[in-house]
């Protein structure tokens, strides 16, 4: 084997190692920079922040179907009161499949606790498959605003509840806001969108979720705060 035949593979290998090391460094750097920014924001909003969590956060909300069931752990955990509402937020790590060799996914979720009972409802931006399903006869809940019907899919067992929640003010708020998946359970309203939230996304999600709470829920929160 010639000298060149030995050197070239070694150079390729060394280059690969350097590239991997650089990617790893900048990934860790970006992760830490985001964590510090979230911590500062939490302090400014008088929220408790734990970058590591205690390992239980991901299992506290089994009624939320938008959270993958294969929870691994949670980190960058927010808890506390925001404008009078109890909130929970974290980066949620989960297995994409039951196969232990499969890759891991991660998403941020913001959860607002309601002061009185809610009913299940789920909405998200429409995807191409939703349009195909409607062409094939699937029935979606329709609202008076055509622009909203084009952009969002709404699912609820109680259609009257969907209309009570998504009144014209809420429809306009959703049309103007950044896109999120929103789920109402009996106690919580959760916002996510399939990836990690930036600092700006957390602020947008908080404003959106609280703004979507029906008037009677916000009145209940006000009454609770004045007693």
pLDDT of residue 25: 37
Read off the pTM: 0.77
| Amino acid 59: pLDDT | 76
How much is the pLDDT for 133? 45
Q: How far is CA 45 from CA 41, 82, 87, 139, 209, in A?
A: 6, 7, 12, 42, 16
Choose among 51, 19, 16: nearest CA to 33.
Answer: 51
Q: What is the pLDDT of residues 65-119, one digit of tens each?
A: 877 766 667 889 999 998 889 999 998 877 666 555 555 678 899 999 988 889 9
Which stretch of 39-48, 129-138, 156-165 has the lowest confidence by average pLDDT? 129-138
pLDDT value for 193: 87
Tokens of 166: 């998504």
Is residue 122 very low, low, confident or very high in pLDDT (cuts 50, 70, 90)? very high
172's torsion region: left (phi>0), alpha (psi -120 to 50) or beta? alpha
pLDDT of residue 223: 47
Nearest to 177 by CA among 149, 212, 143: 212
pLDDT at residue 139, rounded to an integer: 58
Mean pLDDT for the chain overall: 78
pLDDT, one tens digit per residue, over 174-193 is: 999 999 999 999 999 999 98
Residue 108 phi, psi dihedral angles, 5° rounding = -95, 145
For residue range 23-36, list pLDDT tens digits in order. Answer: 443 445 567 888 88
Distance spanning both ends of the chain, measured CA to CA: 86
Rounded Cα distance between 32 and 29, Å, is 5
Confidence of residue 127 (pLDDT cuts 50, 70, 90): confident
Whole-number Å distance between alpha carbons of 152 and 126: 5
Q: What's the pLDDT at 87? A: 93
């Amino acid at each position: 084997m010639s000298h060149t035949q030995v050197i070239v593979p070694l150079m390729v290998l060394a280059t690969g190692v350097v590239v991997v090391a650089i990617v790893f460094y900048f990934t860790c750097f970006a992760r830490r920079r985001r964590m510090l920014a979230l911590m500062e924001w939490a302090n400014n909003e008088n929220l408790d922040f734990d970058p590591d969590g205690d390992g239980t956060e991901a299992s506290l909300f089994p009624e939320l179907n938008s959270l993958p069931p294969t929870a691994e752990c949670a980190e960058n955990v927010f808890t506390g009161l925001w404008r009078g509402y109890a909130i929970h937020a974290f980066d949620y790590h989960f297995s994409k499949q039951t196969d232990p060799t499969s890759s891991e996914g991660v998403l941020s979720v913001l959860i607002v606790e309601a002061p009185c009972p809610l009913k299940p409802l789920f909405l998200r931006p429409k995807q191409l498959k939703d349009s195909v399903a409607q062409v094939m006869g699937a029935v979606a809940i329709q609202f008076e605003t055509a622009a909203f019907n084009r952009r969002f899919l709404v699912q609820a067992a109680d259609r009257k509840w969907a209309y009570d929640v998504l009144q014209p003010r809420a429809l306009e708020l959703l049309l103007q806001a950044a896109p999120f998946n929103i789920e109402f359970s009996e106690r919580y309203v959760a916002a996510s969108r399939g990836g990690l939230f930036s600092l700006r996304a957390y602020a947008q999600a908080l404003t959106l979720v609280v703004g979507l709470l029906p008037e009677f829920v916000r009145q209940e929160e006000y009454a609770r705060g004045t007693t």
